[in-house]
């Protein structure tokens, strides 16, 4: 069975159960020790992932390779930073319950199972293991009607996506005779062409995974859930599950469904175009910065799907580089949102950042770096992220995708630069409260990576190239 390959997941699962038991001990306040234990568990799991061998386990349902290692490290880093940035905010909002970081730990376990899934059954198991903690986290502020509404919307639409996935998997199994990715690749590469029922099943599976990454037209939950959920939950939503969703989409489409690219490529192209256009246009009129970032994330998903649509070594490498840089930019931006408190009260309007450059110049500088980077302005990391997906699109003749990508970047620059303008040129809205240490750590780490990526791009590019090579050979 070769269960040792799954040691990182096993250790994380045992750690989550142990920390949960530790948290319910009748002591004064277990929130901070539990949070630190969760971060420690995530770091230990990351070390185990780096030491992990390659191969398959559990009768071919689990796969470990360089691709899974790359995406797992990214997902675990995003989860650890999300826990760190949540500590002070949850305490001040009265949400400092020890279950919060444990739920993030269990969601991280689901992400790791998703990333290493080598079968439609393990894919579904990982997806549900990720989704169930996220439903609870979205409604974690149970006394807030907006949070309860966000949790309910996410649950209902998430259940719909799970149904789509199961229906698609049943169709693929019915027409291909297997759920294992390796055998599916053989079954779907027949000379006579793929059965129409299998193609319909593939489309249903793509639709379910598109929901998880908030790609158009399955994005409808994103703005409401981002706005209604606590900002610390939104920070987690916007980064870590996106990594797992993109990883699974890449593994499924480049692996078992790779020979049916002619059938699914146009679906990905349309989702990419729709996501980039909606993300650029819908965010323009937003005054709530959480809703603005929700539409921004939809636009960025469109760019990652561009690389997936192009395919090949360069296209998929672009996807991995883009998602890694996106996680850094996005978590840095949300660290600023978490720090947005005035006189003890959380604020979330764009205008609440007015005059930040005079009251907290370092945080304003970090936010400006993130906004310029998201707009794709050189030499920041976001420019290279877009460059690595646009170049393969141009080289492979996807002119419409590349053109829409460039134009949507120009349009989206308006609302990113508006935030910079509010921080540096508008009259003071009043000083924000002192930012907590956890936020400062996340701001420093993500800000330095975003600003100075152009000096040291080689490690990330090499890791992405190695991950893609493991995936497509």
Compute the distance between CA of residue 13 and CA of residue 9 in angstroms, rounded to an integer. Answer: 6
Query: What would the DSSP string read from start to end of 267-326?
Result: HHHHHHHHHHHHHHHHTTT--BHHHHHHHHHHHHHHHHHHHHHH-HHHHHHHHHHHHHHH
CA 362 to chain CA centroid, Å, is: 26
Instruction: Give me the residue label for tokens 């699109």.
Output: 393
pTM greater than 0.75 (yes/no): yes
Contact 134, 114 (CB under 8 A): no
Q: What's the total number of domains in the chain?
A: 1
Written as six digits, the tokens of 440 are: 């400062």
The Cβ-side half-sphere exposure at 471, using a 13 Å CA radius, reads 36
Written as six digits, the tokens of 50 are: 């780096």
Instruction: Give me the residue label for tokens 């489409």.
Output: 253
Q: Is 16 helix (H, G, I), strand (E, B) or coil?
A: helix
Between the alpha carbon of residue 54 and those of residues 6, 50, 67, 108, 470, the distances in Å are: 10, 11, 10, 21, 10
Which residues on adjacent β-strands are paired with residue 57? 62
Contact 337, 290 (CB under 8 A): yes
pLDDT of residue 53: 83
What are the phi and psi torsion angles at 342 (to 5°)? -130, 120
| CB-count exposure of residue 106 (10 Å: 0-12, 13-18, 19+) | buried
DSSP assignment, residue 2?
-
Query: What would the DSSP string read from start to end of 87-145?
Result: HHHHHHTT---THHHHHHHHHHHHHHHHHTB-BHHHHHHHHHHHHHHHHHHHT-STTSH
Compute the distance between CA of residue 238 and CA of residue 224 in angstroms, rounded to an integer. Answer: 13
Tell me the residue length of the chain: 473
CA 229 to chain CA centroid, Å, is: 16
Instruction: List per-block mean pLDDT (blocks of 10 residues) for the chain, which spans 473 residues.
Output: 83 91 73 86 93 85 91 94 87 81 92 91 91 90 86 89 92 88 80 77 89 87 88 89 91 82 87 93 89 92 93 91 94 90 82 87 92 92 93 92 94 92 84 84 92 91 92 79
Q: What is the CA radius of gyration of the chain?
A: 21
Compute the distance between CA of residue 242 and CA of residue 65 in angstroms, rounded to an integer. Answer: 20
Compute the distance between CA of residue 60 and CA of residue 449 in angstroms, rounded to an integer. Answer: 37
Compute the distance between CA of residue 189 and CA of residue 266 in angstroms, rounded to an integer. Answer: 19
pLDDT of residue 191: 62
| CB-count exposure of residue 443 (10 Å: 0-12, 13-18, 19+) | buried
pLDDT of residue 192: 61
Query: What would the DSSP string read from start to end of 434-469?
Result: PPPHHHHHHHHHHHHHHHHGGGS-HHHHHHHHHHHH
Written as six digits, the tokens of 60 are: 């071919």
C-alpha torsion 448→449→455→457, nearest 10: 170
Task: Using alpha carbons only, give the angle 57, 59, 64 rounded to the nearest 5 degrees.
Answer: 25
Compute the distance between CA of residue 293 and CA of residue 229 in angstroms, rounded to an integer. Answer: 13
pLDDT of residue 1: 55
Compute the distance between CA of residue 212 and CA of residue 240 in angstroms, rounded to an integer. Answer: 11
Residue 193's CB: how many other CB atoms inside 10 A?
12
Contact 353, 430 (CB under 8 A): no
| Domain boundaries, position 221 | 3-472
Compute the distance between CA of residue 102 and CA of residue 100 in angstroms, rounded to an integer. Answer: 5
pLDDT of residue 393: 93
The Cβ-side half-sphere exposure at 204, using a 13 Å CA radius, reads 20
């Amino acid at each position: 069975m070769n269960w040792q390959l799954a040691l990182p997941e096993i250790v994380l699962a045992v750690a989550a159960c142990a920390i949960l038991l530790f948290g319910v001990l009748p002591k004064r306040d277990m929130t901070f020790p539990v949070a630190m234990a969760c971060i420690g568990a995530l770091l230990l799991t990351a070390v185990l992932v780096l030491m992990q061998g390659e191969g398959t386990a559990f009768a071919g349902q689990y796969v470990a390779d360089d691709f899974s290692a790359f995406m797992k490290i990214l997902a675990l880093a995003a989860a650890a930073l999300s826990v760190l940035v949540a500590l002070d905010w949850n305490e001040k909002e009265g949400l400092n319950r020890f279950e919060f970081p444990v739920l993030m730990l269990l969601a991280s376990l689901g992400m790791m199972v998703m990333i290493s899934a080598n079968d439609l059954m393990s894919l579904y198991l990982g997806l549900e293991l990720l989704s169930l903690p996220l439903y609870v986290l979205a409604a974690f502020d149970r006394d807030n009607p907006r949070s309860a509404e966000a949790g309910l919307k996410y649950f209902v639409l998430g259940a719909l996506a799970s149904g789509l996935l199961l229906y698609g998997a049943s169709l693929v199994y019915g027409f291909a005779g297997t759920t294992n990715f390796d055998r599916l690749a053989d079954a779907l590469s027949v000379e006579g062409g793929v059965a129409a029922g299998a193609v319909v099943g593939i489309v249903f599976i793509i639709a379910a995974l598109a929901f998880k990454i908030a790609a158009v037209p399955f994005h409808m939950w994103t703005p409401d859930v981002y706005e209604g959920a606590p900002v610390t939950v939104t920070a987690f939503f916007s980064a870590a599950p996106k990594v797992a969703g993109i990883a699974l989409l890449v593994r499924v489409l480049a692996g078992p469904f790779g020979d049916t690219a002619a059938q699914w490529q146009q679906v990905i192209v349309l989702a990419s175009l729709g996501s980039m256009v909606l993300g650029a246009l819908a965010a323009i009129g937003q005054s709530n910065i959480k809703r603005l970032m929700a539409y921004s994330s939809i636009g960025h998903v469109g760019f990652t799907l561009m690389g997936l649509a192009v395919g090949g070594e360069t296209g998929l490498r672009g996807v991995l580089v883009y998602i890694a840089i996106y996680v850094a930019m996005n978590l840095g931006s949300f660290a600023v949102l978490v720090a947005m408190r005035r006189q003890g009260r959380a604020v979330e309007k764009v205008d609440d950042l007015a005059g930040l450059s005079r009251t907290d110049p370092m945080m304003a500088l970090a936010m400006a770096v993130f906004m310029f980077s998201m707009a794709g302005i050189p030499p920041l990391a976001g420019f290279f992220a877009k460059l690595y997906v646009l170049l393969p699109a141009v080289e492979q003749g996807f002119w419409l995708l590349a053109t829409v990508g460039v134009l949507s970047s120009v349009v989206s620059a308006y609302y990113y630069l508006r935030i910079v303008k509010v921080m540096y040129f508008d009259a003071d809205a009043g000083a924000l409260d002192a930012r907590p240490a956890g936020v400062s750590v996340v701001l420093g780490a993500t800000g330095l990576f975003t600003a100075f990526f152009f000096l040291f791009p080689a490690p990330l590019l090499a890791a992405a190239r190695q991950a893609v090579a493991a995936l497509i050979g």
